[in-house]
């Protein structure tokens, strides 16, 4: 883990050395929130929006808010270690702190962990699979970016075993929802469409920016309820997250989409790159 840089509660630590309490509630019951920001040329992208969403997740979990300035200082510190990271990601994790061996909480200060790592940019298109498990749009944690990721681990492991990069899920109503770590768009009748937030999907920062920027550039984007099987008929499928930006899909299960990226996806990518270049790292 020599390429991973870690900061815990104000102190830089070795990534290979234990630095979290054994009874931290994030360890025992997955009680926490996190954000992942893209790193470009040593800087974290869209930090203000990510910290705003972190606050919403902490509020939804009933955890205390953390000081944004302290988090920013931690991010700055890990990004200043060693050579600048040309491309990668920085993850901000906030847990419930020391807790009991149960779902109850102690009145403990939160644990803040910030880690950064270099990575490679994604290819222009990806293969995805659909999975039989669903998102519960009525769950207490619906729409929150929590550290309770076991369902996602199972789904992405299923996808990887089938040669895919991502798994796409329906919600309990049989509607298209999201991926394990991405939002999803489809193109039908030449229109870019994406599930609404009440589908149970995460309010992705990339999703948010893509919708804003595409609409400003004159590309029609519709947020609407979509049947899960739209993935079998859509002309184009796109996934988005903080490291992918917006990425075309060339394979859904055994269905090939060609060309990939398609024309609307290509326009979406062009709009993204232009807006990002114009607006900088904290749009």
Q: C-alpha angle with apex 148: 143 to 154, nearest 5 degrees?
A: 100
Axis-axis angle for helices 263-279, 205-216 (nearest 10): 100
pLDDT, tens digit (0-9, with 9 covering 90-100), for 209-229: 999 999 999 999 999 999 999
| pLDDT tens readout for residues 6-56 | 999 999 999 999 999 999 999 999 999 999 999 999 999 999 999 999 999
Beta-bridge mates of residue 221: 192
pTM summary value: 0.96
Top-level class of domain 5-118: alpha beta
What homologous superfamily does CATH list for 125-279?
Answer: D-amino Acid Aminotransferase, subunit A, domain 2 (3.20.10.10)
Task: Return the domain boundaries, the chain.
Answer: 5-118, 125-279
- Name 5's bridge partners: 116
- pLDDT in the model for residue 1: 53
- CA separation for the pair 117, 83 (Å, rounded): 11
Q: CA-to-CA distance for 187 and 235, rounded, in angstroms?
A: 6
């Amino acid at each position: 883990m020599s390429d991973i840089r870690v900061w815990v509660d104000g102190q830089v630590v070795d990534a290979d050395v234990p630095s979290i309490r054994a009874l931290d509630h994030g360890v025992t019951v997955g009680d926490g929130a996190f954000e992942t920001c893209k790193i470009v040329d040593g800087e974290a992208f869209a930090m203000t929006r990510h910290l705003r969403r972190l606050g919403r997740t902490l509020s939804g979990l009933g955890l205390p808010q953390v000081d944004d300035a302290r988090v920013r200082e931690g991010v700055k510190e890990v990004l200043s270690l060693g050579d600048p990271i040309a491309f990668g990601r920085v993850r901000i994790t906030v847990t419930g702190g020391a807790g009991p061996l149960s779902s109850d909480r102690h009145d403990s200060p939160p644990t803040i962990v910030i880690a950064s790592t270099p990575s490679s940019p994604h290819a222009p298109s990806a293969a995805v699979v659909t999975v039989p498990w669903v998102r519960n749009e009525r769950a207490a944690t619906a729409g929150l970016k929590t550290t309770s990721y076991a369902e996602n681990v199972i789904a992405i492991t299923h996808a990887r075993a089938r040669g895919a990069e991502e798994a796409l899920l329906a919600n309990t109503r049989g509607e298209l929802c999201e991926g394990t770590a991405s939002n999803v768009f489809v193109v039908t009748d030449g229109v870019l469409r994406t599930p609404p937030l009440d589908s149970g999907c995460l309010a992705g920062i990339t999703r948010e920016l893509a919708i804003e920027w595409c609409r400003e550039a004159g590309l029609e984007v519709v947020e609407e309820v979509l049947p899960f099987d739209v993935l079998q008929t859509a002309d184009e499928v796109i996934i988005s997250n903080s490291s992918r930006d917006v990425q075309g899909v060339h394979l859904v299960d055994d269905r090939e989409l060609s060309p990939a990226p398609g024309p609307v996806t290509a326009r979406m990518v062009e709009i993204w790159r232009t807006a990002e270049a114009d607006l900088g790292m904290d749009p």
